[in-house]
Amino acid sequence: MVSTSLESVCNINPHLTRLQTLNELESTFQLVLEPDLSPSVLLSNWKGKLSNMSTDFELVELVLSVRFHALLSVLPHYKRSGGENESLIQSGLLNVLSTKASLAIEAQQYQ
């Protein structure tokens, strides 16, 4: 798996190829601590969705959704430990929401 850091999950690149998108998903899932599902199971679930995506907008939307849930899932852990990482995650969540809003506006222009 690709190594990841909290910073890389909080930084959003909305212009990804399909291969880069898979790598982004894989690195994001390394950060998520799911008690019942291993990262490989989660990743295969999302890869199934990814293969059905027809537009780049859908791909970016998928990555943003995964990032948002990943950041939300680790936020309680960092809240308990406090400090710099908590604000980094909050900034990452705002980043995702801002990018999603921009993407929605851009997608409307193409319809």
Asked if the structure places residue 89 within a domain, the reply is: yes
The CA distance from 40 to 26, in Å, is 8
| 18 belongs to a structural domain | yes
What is the Cα–Cα distance from 33 to 29, expressed in whole angstroms?
Answer: 8
The whole domain housing 70 covers 14-109
Rounded to an integer, what distance in angstroms lies between the CA atom of residue 76 and that of residue 15? 30
Residue 4 falls within a domain, yes or no? no
Distance CA 64, CA 24 (A): 10
Residue 5 falls inside a structural domain:
no
Please, how many CA atoms are within 13 Å of residue 37, restricted to the half-sphere of its CB?
13
- Establish if 6 belongs to a structural domain: no
93 is a domain residue = yes
Domain count along the chain: 1
Mean pLDDT of 78-98: 77
Q: Is residue 28, in this structure, part of any structural domain at all?
A: yes
CB-CB contact of 86 with 79 (8 Å):
yes
10 pLDDT more than 70: no
In tens, the pLDDT along 27-71 reads 665 555 444 445 455 556 655 666 666 666 676 777 777 778 777
